[in-house]
Amino acid sequence: MSETTNQSEQAETVETHNFQTEAKQLLKLMIHSLYSNREIFLRELISNASDAIDKLRFKAIEAPDLLGDDPDYHIDITFDKDAKTLTIADNGIGMTRQEVITNLGTIAKSGTAEFLATLTGDQAKDAQLIGQFGVGFYSAFMVADEVEVRTLGAGAEQGVRWRSAGEDAYELEDIDGLSRGTQVILHLQEDALDFADDFRLRSVVRKYSDHIGVPVRMLQQTPPGDPDSEEQAQDTTLEFEAVNSAKALWTRSRSEVEDEEYKEFYKHVSHDFEDPLSWSHNRVEGKLEYTSLLYIPKRAPFDLYNREAPRGLKLYVQRVFIMDDAEQFLPLYLRFIKGVVDSNDLPLNVSREILQQDDRVTSIRNALTKRVLSMLDSMAKKEPEQYQAFWDEFGEVLKEGAGEDFANREALSKLLRFATTKTDGPAKTVSLDAYLERKAENQESIYYICAETYETASRSPHLEVFKDKDVEVLLMFDRIDEWLMSMLTQYNDISFVDVMRDDVSLPGEVNSAEDSDDAEGTEGTKEGAEEDETSPLAERITTALADKVEKVRPSKRLTQSPACLVLADYAMGVQMRKIMEASGQAMPESKPIFEFNPEHPLLQRLDSESDEDRFAELVGILFDQASLAEGGTLADPGAYVERLNRLLLDLLDS
């Protein structure tokens, strides 16, 4: 593709070549559209240098002679403020003349022409597309008005110089006196002179290339006060020092890394001052190759529930830092996980947009999700106290997962913990497995109750019969619980049953809810219920409560309290309703079922009350009390107080 003109007025060996058309187009577009983040040129050039070193490292396994007397790999960055140059030099594999023409004059990627045809001319859109395509070597032209490459292939005799101003053409010339590898010399643009600065360069190197497995070196800074400090290139006393740590921690094998090092690295990636609770470091090989190092923090961040807060892993591709907060590698409910994923398969210039649609990313996300869940599972088994500490901080977020991540629902359900009627206080929890292990012999459901607080849940009248029969009930009082339970219907094929609902059957009883699809099967139960509802007391109560309730019936679940309110099976839970109302949603009216305890002395006394007004007043109080007991708010609290005070007066007067 390139054209050659011998320019006889210059040295015989200088040739001018035209860039391949596609290369020319891409170069122009890149210079103009990627301008806003131009410091990445350094990442690209260091990455190329590191690749060149990797290639030589690989070749030298078979041909160690290639290394000659320069066996230590390094990438050196120097600058000269006066000459306005910045040089990135490596002692990698270098290039032959032909390789220079192919690699730096053309774009070998298949489909380049088609790709370029899709560009719109709209700078912002094109910038995204080009970012996806690959910036690479040409990004040098974002900061340089001329780029010079001097290179000597490993084992080659003849060095080559390539030079271009990034327009239509480049010059090529044989030169002597080079040592193995490649030097890229950037003649900086006036507005890019800030890159000829020790501090700036070091910080860019650390930001993007800290974990390149090769030392990226810069000249030591002269001691403070030295008048020659600016003239570092001429100061022969200066030596090179590595700017990066040169060995990516996650690339080392687990057995080589001390716990302390893992902890230090955690602080570096998370900006957390505390040690992590736990971590998992894994290398995956096969169809996809990647390494992950995932940390569980000890404490939930203050912005755990802020949807805008940055989250995600640090993404590296082949040990080159690509981006922070790569959120595509974990689901939202694992947003508290910190760490690194280092892929060997993704392109270096991968953008967030690409990450969102890339199948490889999806596979990695699925695998990392399972990895975290199994890390938690083994913590729960081996270190239950540590798991409890985790649960206290992050349990609610994990519940989001159990509700929304269908594929991992089972693993997530295993990780759930709940206080129960048989544990002591809100902080003592059990797993669903532990609950099932000790369930009553003929128990066919997992019973639970949702309320606003632990106290409301644990003292709910709905629990009386369960306590009496020694059946354990899960106590749920997190905001998310009612939603969670609307998503979870079963665990290990055993159904969850809300004890506040209409159709609760106790262990050993036929579950009429299960039969209700079958018209004939329900008959018996229904008839029984009808009978109860038509009892004279139920009828009197129905009249007294009028339109406040859907139904009135004697209760099977009360043993101590006089009355309770029961939700129809289809009705929205009390907590969910409150949340919806608080968010300004108009909710349809929903009436509870009023259940009374015919054995209770109050009810027995009521039954013999002949004054209908007084009867209605007392029933009204029972209704309001039942509502209070489940943490509900009274429609007319003033009326309740008045009624109660009237009764108190009666009592005192009598």
Task: Please give the angle made by the CA atoms of 330, 412 and 357, to the nearest 5 degrees.
Answer: 25
Binding mask 118-137 for ligand ADP (x = CB under 6 A): ----------------x-xx
105 binds ligand ADP (CB under 6 A): no
In the complex with ligand ADP, which residue's Cβ is closer, 149 or 618? Answer: 149
Residue holding tokens 């350094």? 42
The per-residue DSSP string of 481-514 comes to: HHHHHHH--EETTEEEEETTBS----TTS--HHH
In the complex with ligand ADP, which residue's Cβ is closer, 31 or 95? Answer: 95
87 binds ligand ADP (CB under 6 A): no
In the complex with ligand ADP, which residue's Cβ is closer, 185 or 476? Answer: 185
For residues 392-411, one letter each, b for 16 or more C-beta atoms within 10 angstroms of the residue's C-beta and e for the rest, the string is ebbbbbbbbbbbbbeebbeb
Which among 18-26, 93-101, 464-472, 547-555 is the span making contact with ligand ADP, rule CB under 6 A? 93-101
Measured at CB, which residue is nearest to ligand ADP?
136
Q: Two tokens at 214?
A: 């090769």
Candidate residues 40, 92, 178, 321; the one interacting with ligand ADP per rule CB under 6 A: 92
Candidate residues 78, 87, 96, 182; the one interacting with ligand ADP per rule CB under 6 A: 182
29 binds ligand ADP (CB under 6 A): no
* Alpha-carbon span 164 to 19, nearest angstrom: 10
Candidate residues 46, 77, 95, 201; the one interacting with ligand ADP per rule CB under 6 A: 95
96 binds ligand ADP (CB under 6 A): no
Nearest-CA neighbor of 305 among 373, 396, 392, 376? 396
209 binds ligand ADP (CB under 6 A): no
H-run or E-run covering 448: strand 445-450
The per-residue DSSP string of 100-161 comes to: HHHHHHS---TTHHHHHHT--S-HHHHHHHHHHH--GGGGGGGTEEEEEEEEE-TT-S-EEE
Torsion sign (Cα): 367, 373, 378, 379: positive
Binding mask 136-175 for ligand ADP (x = CB under 6 A): xx--------------------------------------
CA distances from 335 to 281, 300, 398 (A): 18, 10, 10
Applying the rule CB under 6 A, the residues between 31 and 60 that interact with ligand ADP are 48-49, 52
Tell me the residue type at 341.
V
Instruction: Please work out the total of residues on this chain that contact ligand ADP, with binding judged by CB under 6 A.
Output: 14
411 binds ligand ADP (CB under 6 A): no
101 binds ligand ADP (CB under 6 A): no
In the complex with ligand ADP, which residue's Cβ is closer, 156 or 463? Answer: 156
Binding mask 425-454 for ligand ADP (x = CB under 6 A): ------------------------------
631 binds ligand ADP (CB under 6 A): no
In the complex with ligand ADP, which residue's Cβ is closer, 108 or 580? Answer: 108
For residues 126-149, one letter each, b for 16 or more C-beta atoms within 10 angstroms of the residue's C-beta and e for the rest, the string is bbbbbbebbbbbbbbbbbbebbbb
What are the residues binding ligand ADP (CB under 6 A)?
48-49, 52, 90, 92-95, 103-104, 134, 136-137, 182
